[in-house]
Structure 1
Amino acid sequence: MNNALQSQIDELETKIAFQDATIEELNQEVIKLNDLVARQQYQMQLIVDKLLAMEPSNIATQAEETPPPHY
């Protein structure tokens, strides 16, 4: 009985050690992905800012558009 109990404890300790390693690996991947998303958000904001800073296009907005002749 004592050997069986010790065997179960050893098996559980081994599983916990592997789970701890897996959790740490997953945590590192989450950190990398978080950094990647932050960089992409920053780059996207730069693109949006550049687009907004560009001169307006020659196309009139709907409010500026003259109505068609039949109005």
Structure 2
Amino acid sequence: MNTIEHRLTELEAKVAFQDETIEILNEELKAHQQQLAKMKRQTELLAEKLKEAQQPSLMSQIQEPPPPHY
């Protein structure tokens, strides 16, 4: 019986260690997912700003008359 109790104790310790490791990995995964979502949104915003910068603005579309000395 002593051997079975010892093996059971070892298995319980392993399971407890695995549970702790899984929880730590889960927290890390959540942090990485949040960071990835934030970076994705920043990339989308930068892409929008780049598109806006490449489009001619209304002011540049309006032709100014040449200066009077022409």
TM superposition score normalised by structure 1: 0.75
Q: Sequence identity, in percent?
A: 36
Q: Whole-Å Cα distance in 1 between the matches of residues 40 and 21 of structure 2?
A: 28
RMSD: 1.2
1:20 pairs with 2:26:
no
Unaligned runs of 5+ in 2: 57-70
**Which aligned runs of 4 or more in structure 1 are off by greater than 2 angstroms?**
none
Give 1:56 deviation, angstroms.
Answer: 4.1
What is the letter of the counterpart of residue 12 of structure 1? L
Give 1:55 deviation, angstroms.
Answer: 3.6
Match of 2:37 in 1: 38
Structure with greater helix percent: 2
Unaligned runs of 5+ in 1: 58-71
**Number of residue-to-residue matches in the alignment:** 56
Q: Whole-Å Cα distance in 1 between the matches of residues 14 and 54 of structure 2?
A: 62
Q: Whole-Å Cα distance in 2 between the matches of residues 5 and 13 of structure 1?
A: 12
TM superposition score normalised by structure 2: 0.76
1:44-63 alignment, distance < 5 Å: 44-56=43-55
What is the letter of the counterpart of residue 35 of structure 1? Q
